[in-house]
Structure 1
Amino acid sequence: MPIEINIRSNLKEITKSLSDLAYRQVNFAAAQAINDLARQVAVAERDNIKATFEKPKPFTVNAVGVSGATKRTLTAVVYVKPIAARYLAPYEEGGVHKLPGRALLNPKNIRLDQYGQLSRTVLRRLKARRDVFIGPVKTKDGEVNGVWQRVPARRKQPATLKLLIRFGDAIEVKKRLGFGTTGRDIVERGWSGAFDRAMARALATAR
C-alpha cells in the first residue's frame, strides 16, 4: 500500500539546461518538491478515507504518514501505519474484511459509539453480565451464533432472548480506496509546478 515518490529519471532532463548555480541547488529543490507532493498525497488519502467510510475513527484517518525525502535519497514514501494497513488492505487490493477476532461482529440491539462502531470494552462488559451469554441459538430462521441477553418475563409477556451482537463470517469488500491511483495522479499533475516553486525558493536563498 505505500506510495513511493522518486523522480531521479525526470531530473536528468531538467539538469541539462540549468546554470551552474541552479545545478548546485537542484537536488535540494527536488527534495523540497517531493516532500510538498508527499504531504499533498497524505492529505488526499486522509480525505479519501473519510469519503469512503461512514464516520471513520481518527485512528484510521490519522494512520496515513509520510517519510520525507532528502537531497541524497530524493525519495518520499506515503504509507499507512501497520495496524490500520492490515484492515485497510482489502479496500485497496480486494478480498474479504480482515476480522479483529474469529468472527465478524454485527451489532443488532446495542448502542454504538460516535463512529457507529462497537467500542473495545463493550464485549468485555457484556461477558461479565449475568443476563448475557455467548453462543448459538436455534431460531425460526436457523441457528444464530452471537451475544444474547435473557429478557425476563413481564406481566403477560413471556421471557425472551434478545440478540445483541451477531457473529458472522468475513465478507467480500466492495468499496475501493484507490490509494495508489490517487497518489500517482497528484504526483503526475503536480510535479512540474512543485519543482519550479521549490527551485525558485532555492535560488532566492542560495549564497
Structure 2
Amino acid sequence: MEYGKKKKSLDAVTIAGLGLLTALVIVLQMLGGFIRFGQFSVSLVLAPIVIGAALYGVWAGGWLGFVFGVVVLFRDSAIFLAINPLATVVIVLLKGFLAGLAAGAVYKALAPKNSFLATLAASVVCPVVNTGVFLLGCYLFFMEWVRTMAEQLNFASVAAFMFGGLVGANFLFELLTNIVLNPIIMRIIAIRKKHVAGKPKKGMRGSQ
C-alpha cells in the first residue's frame, strides 16, 4: 500500500516535471527563433533536454527532443518544406528525438560511475547528434539545394558550406552553451534528485 502511494507520488512528480520542461522547451525555442547565425536560428533548448533526460530517463529525453523538433518544424523549416515536405518533417522531428534519446542513454550509462562526466557527456552528445542527423538528412535529401547555395555563396566546396556556412556557427554556439551551463545543469539535477528522494522531508520539518 505504502509502495503504491510512493509510486503514484513519483509518477505525479515525473508528469509535473516533464510538463514544466516541455513548456520551457517550447518557450526557449520560440525565443531562439530571434537569434540567427546564417540560415537558421539557434537552439536554446538543449540544456533542458539534457536535464529532462537525466532526471526522468531516456524516453523523457526523446520526448523533449521531439517537442523541440515540432517547434523547429513550424518556425524554422520553410526553406526545406518547400523542397521536400515529407523528408523535412522526418528529419526535423527525428534529429530532436534522437538527440534527447542519446543524451539520456549516455547519462544513464555514465551516471553510476561519475555524475560530472555523465552530465558533461550528455551535454556534448545532445548537440552533436542533433547537428549530425541534420547534416545526414541534408546529404540524403537536399544535396541539390546545398550545392546551389555553396556556389552562390562562393564556398570552396559543398563540405565547406555544410560545415561552415550551414551549421558551423549554430553548432558551436549550442555546444559551448551546453558546456558553459554544465555546472548549473549538474546542480539542478542533484537538487531535483534529492527532492524526489525525500530530502528534506516535509514531515520532519513540520515536527521540528
TM-score range, shorter chain: 0.3 to 0.5
TM-score scaled to structure 1, two decimals?
Answer: 0.37
Kindly indicate which of the two structures has a greater share of residues assigned to strand: 1
Rg larger in 1 or in 2? 1
TM-score scaled to structure 2, two decimals?
Answer: 0.36
Kindly indicate which of the two structures has a greater share of residues assigned to helix: 2
